[in-house]
Amino acid sequence: MFGLSAAMFEAVTVANGHIDQKGFDTYRLMRLSETPAIEVHLIASDAAPTGVGEIATAPIGAAVCNALFAATGRRVRTLPLVPA
């Protein structure tokens, strides 16, 4: 959700040398009602536990942009996708 929120909404803007966003009331994050359904599957394994979520943070923006291209034929090359 961290990477998807960044790709969809998150932006820091500057005006007159100062950052416009002063807190979470002015910094747009993905809301719980906007998140896709999340399924968790536990798989029995003898392997040592490792992190699995962090690896998807970086490429999610590109994946969403490629999905939009596949659906519309239009390339999107600017993030966030939803402007303020």
**What was the pLDDT predicted at 59?**
92
Indicate the average pLDDT of the chain.
89
Query: What's the CA gap between 9 and 68, in Å, rounded?
Result: 16
- Reported as a pLDDT band with limits 50, 70 and 90, residue 55 is confident
Q: Flag whether pLDDT at 69 surpasses 80.
A: yes
Stretch 60-76: mean pLDDT = 95
Q: Flag whether pLDDT at 41 surpasses 60.
A: yes
Query: What's the CA gap between 36 and 13, in Å, rounded?
Result: 27
Query: What's the CA gap between 47 and 44, in Å, rounded?
Result: 9
pLDDT tens digits, 12-40? 999 999 999 999 899 999 999 999 998 88
Q: Flag whether pLDDT at 51 surpasses 80.
A: no
